Amino acid sequence: MWDIVKLIFPYAIAYTVPILVTSLGGLYSERSGVVNIGLEGLMVFGMFAGAYIVFLLQTVAPGLSIWLGLLVGMLGGGLFALLHAFASITLNANQVISGTAINMIAGALTLYIARTLTGSGNIQVIRGLPRVDIPILSKIPILGPLLFSSTYASTWVVLGILLLSWFILYKTAFGLRLRACGEHPYAAASAGINVYRMRYIAVVISGMLAGLGGVIILVTYSGEFNGSVAGLGFLALAALIFGQWKPLGILGATFFFGFMTTMANISQVIPELSIIPPVVLKVFPYVMTLIALVIFSKSSQAPKAAGQPFDLGKK
């Protein structure tokens, strides 16, 4: 079993990271009171923007182009999220509808633009991020092979974002205000906080992180943009709820998904696992999530105002 775990771990982490960072994006948005069903679309859009930059620059500056791609993917996701922000914050639209529209627009529009720009719906990346063993740390017994071997730089960036998010949310004035906007926006407003602005910031951050997640998929395991992220945005949303709207909960939830899915994916080539009917392995993460949700259901920590438009009656 240990051998299997050791074998799976680095790839499970690689698979987890984009979901994790997207889910963290969702965390900002929902903590500010804006439900973001559009994470999937934001990922797609960010992935598209990043892929296009990498595509343009990879022959000129291979290493740099990847990091630029990550940056532009973030910006692209953030920019695209403005559409959701505008509808759900400025226009007080139904946030679920707006998010659904974001998903639909991203899928259709990126392919439409990709065709026009590159003449091709698919955008390929020559080479993604390298995978490296962290010197010294990868030699630590147990933890070394699990955590510090074959890692992507992006993984550490995302873990940094995770820690930073925790700190921002709970230790800074910005975080306090953000959470207040998601729990009781009118209280926040009466404390002099510009709820609209906070929500805009949060939704844009969620777009940036989801966009980053999209590009990470591209520069780590997929190497190609094809107009879809295969439902990972929805998984990120589920992980957000499963993780009870908390950074560490989200880490746990996404890693659980990542590990189980990876295990199911590769069970075919691992004789020890191939005795289990594949359908069981495939279905396992989803069934377990349902069970976990039942167990945690007693203490739901959902932001109280998430999904409710905020309207001060201003003209």
Distance from CA of residue 91 to its chain's centroid?
26
Among 24-32, 44-52, 156-164, 172-180, which window interacts with another protein (CB under 8 A)? 172-180
- Cα-based torsion angle of the residue sequence 229, 234, 235, 240 in order, rounded to the nearest 10 degrees: 130
Question: Contacts with another protein: how many residues (CB under 8 A)?
Answer: 98
The CA distance from 86 to 115, in Å, is: 27
Identify the residue among 144, 157, 234, 244 touching another protein (CB under 8 A): 234
Identify the residue among 61, 108, 137, 163 touching another protein (CB under 8 A): 108
Length reported for the chain: 315
Residue 193 backbone zone (phi > 0: left; psi -120 to 50: alpha; other: beta): beta
Residue type, 144: G
Residues 199-228 that bind another protein (CB under 8 A): 217, 221-224, 226
Residues 15-74 that bind another protein (CB under 8 A): 15, 37, 62
Residues 248-267 that bind another protein (CB under 8 A): 261-262, 265-266
Residue 100 touches another protein, criterion: CB under 8 A: yes
3-class SS at 224? strand
**DSSP one-letter string for 101-142:** HHHHHHHHHHHHHHHHHHSSS-EE-S----EEPPTTGGGSTT
**Min CB(126)–another protein separation in Å:** 6
**Min CB(68)–another protein separation in Å:** 19
Residue 136 touches another protein, criterion: CB under 8 A: no
Residues paired with residue 151 on neighbouring β-strands, in sequence order: 132
Residue 1 touches another protein, criterion: CB under 8 A: no
User: Six-digit token pair at 132?
Assistant: 């490296």
Residues 173-202 that bind another protein (CB under 8 A): 173-174, 176-177, 179-180, 183-184, 186-194
Closest to another protein by CB, 38 vs 211, is: 38
Identify the residue among 238, 250, 251, 260 touching another protein (CB under 8 A): 238
